[in-house]
Amino acid sequence: MAGQFPDWMRRKVIYTADLPRTRELLKDLSVHTVCQGARCPNLSECFSRRTATFMILGDTCTRGCRFCAVTKGTPAAVDEAEPARVAEAACRLGLKHVVITSVTRDDLPDGGANQFVRTMQAIRQRLPGATVEVLTPDFGGNRAAIRQVAEAAPEVYNHNVETVPRLYPTVRPQAHYQRSLQLLQLVKEQDPGILTKSGLMVGLGETREEVLGVMEDLRKVACDLLTIGQYLRPSHRHLAVQEYVTPETYAYYRRMGQSMGFQQVAAGPYVRSSYQADQLIK
- Annotated binding site for [4Fe-4S] cluster, which residues? 35, 40, 46, 61, 65, 68, 274
CA 73 – CA 71 distance, rounded (Å): 7
Contacts of 79 (CB under 8 A, 6+ apart): 58
Pairing mode, strands 60-61 and 225-230: unpaired
| Rg, the chain, Cα only | 18
CA 240 – CA 224 distance, rounded (Å): 30
DSSP-assigned letter for residue 162: B
Binding-site residues, please?
35, 40, 46, 61, 65, 68, 274
CA 6 – CA 26 distance, rounded (Å): 34
Q: Are 111 and 148 in contact (CB under 8 A)?
A: no
> 3-state SS string over 193-205?
CCEEEEEEEECCC
- Of the candidates 124, 141, 112, which has an alpha carbon nearest to the alpha carbon of residue 86? 124
Contacts of 81 (CB under 8 A, 6+ apart): none
- Of the candidates 198, 137, 197, 135, which has an alpha carbon nearest to the alpha carbon of residue 162? 198
